[in-house]
Amino acid sequence: MNKARVLFLPPVDADNTNAQSLNVREIVLRLDPERIESTLWYERAPDARLCQRPGILFLKLPQYGKTLRILKELLSGYDIIAYMDYSPASYLLLHTPRLFRGLTKTVFHAEGPMATIVNPPRLLKLLVGGVLPNCDVHTGITEFVARDMARALDRELKYVLPVGVDTAFFTQPLERNHAVPIVLFVGTLIERKGPQHLLTAAARFPQARFRIVGAGRDGFENVLRQKAGELQVKNVTFEGPRTQPEVRDIMRQSDIFVLPSRLEGIPKVTLEAAATGLPCIVFRDYQTPSVLDGVTGFQVSTLEEMLSRLAQLIQDSILRNKMGVAARRHALTFDWDLIAKRWERTYLVIACGSAC
C-alpha cells in the first residue's frame, strides 16, 4: 500500500510542554517512515529530534489567520487527521460537506473522562458539541476512558491507545537514602489536581519534606501559599514550572509521588515517576493502569486512605524501595517504543480499512 498520510494538529515546538504536543512528538519519532508520512505544525521552532527524521513534513503556523490556514490544510486530502481538537478549524472541517472532505478520516483521541469539562464557556460548549460526535473515529487512552466516551457518544469505541514514557530518559538513581523522605507532586496547580491535599499531608507528617512542582493557573498558587501559611507548614516548597529534564531530576531526588486528582486518564507524570522508581499514590476513581495497587504504589478511595497509605510509605523505606523497583519494571511495559507501535498499527487500519 501507499504511505498513509497523517496530519497531527498539536504544534510540536521544542518549548511546548502541552501533554498532547509531547505525546505527538514521541509517537511520530517512532513511526515507520516507509509506512506513514507525518505532517506537523509548529509556531517557532520544532523539536530538533524530529528535524532529523525521514517521513516528517513541517508546516509553520502563521501569526495571523491561523484558523483559515489550518482549515485549508485539513481539506488537503490527508488519509488521517489525528488529535482533532475543540478549535474553530476542526469545527468548520466537520461541518464541511463530505464531498469536499473526501476519504479523510478524522480521529479524536480522548485522554480523560468527559467530566473533566466542567461548566464550559458558551463557545467551548458549542465547539465540543460540534466536534466530538462528528469525528469519524474515537480512541480512549484507557479502557475506563473508552467506556466513558462510548456512553457519551452512544457508540462503541474500537481502539484503546495509551500514552507511554521514555524509559531511557526517565531512569532510576543508583540509590535513594534520604534521611528525610521527600514527597513529590508534579502538575498544574489547579483545584482539580488536588495539590491542596499535599498541604494537609505536610501538616500531618512534619517528618517528611514535600515538593510541589508546576505552574499556577487562575491564581490558585496564591490560594495554596495562603493555606500553607494558615497551616504553618515549614516542610513544603513551591518550585514553579520546570522543564522535562528538571522534572526528571527532581523525581530522581524524591522518594514518593502523590497525585490527588480524581479525574484523569493515564497521568503522564505517574508513568514518569514510576520509570524513575517512585511508588505512586493515586485515586482509583479513573482506574489508571499506570499504578498497580499494592504493587507499584496504591490506588485509594478517600483522602483519609491516601494519607494512611502515605504514612505507610513515609515510615517504611523497605516498602518504598520494593514498590519503586516494581514501578520501574511496570513502566517498561509502557515504553514509547512499544506503545508507538500500537498507534502505528491502529493508524494503518484506520487509513486503509479493516482489510489491512
Residue 7: helix, strand or coil by DSSP?
strand
Residue 297: helix, strand or coil by DSSP?
strand
For helices 336-352 and 19-30, the axis angle rounded to 10 degrees is 80
CA–CA dist 54, 138 (Å, integer): 28
Residue 170: φ, ψ to 5° = -90, 105
CA–CA dist 290, 278 (Å, integer): 12
pLDDT 10s digits, 88-129: 999 999 999 999 999 999 999 999 988 888 788 999 999 999
Q: Where are the alpha helices (DSSP H) in 212-335?
A: 220-231, 244-252, 268-275, 303-315, 317-331
CA–CA dist 286, 146 (Å, integer): 11
CATH 3.40.50.2000 maps onto the chain at: 4-163+336-352, 182-334
Homologous superfamily, domain 4-163+336-352: Glycogen Phosphorylase B; (3.40.50.2000)
| pLDDT confidence tier of residue 277, bands split at 50, 70 and 90 | very high
CA–CA dist 47, 182 (Å, integer): 32
The pLDDT value recorded for residue 120 is 86
Element of type H or E holding 283: strand 280-283
pLDDT 10s digits, 125-143: 999 999 999 999 999 999 9
The pLDDT value recorded for residue 49 is 95
The pLDDT value recorded for residue 47 is 96
Residues 6+ apart with CB under 8 A from 267: 187, 259, 261, 282, 288, 290
Q: Widest CA span of the chain, in angstroms?
A: 67
Nearest to 215 by CA among 233, 189, 196: 189
Written as one letter, the residue type at 133 is P
Query: Thinking of the domain 182-334, which architecture would CATH place it in?
Result: 3-Layer(aba) Sandwich (3.40)
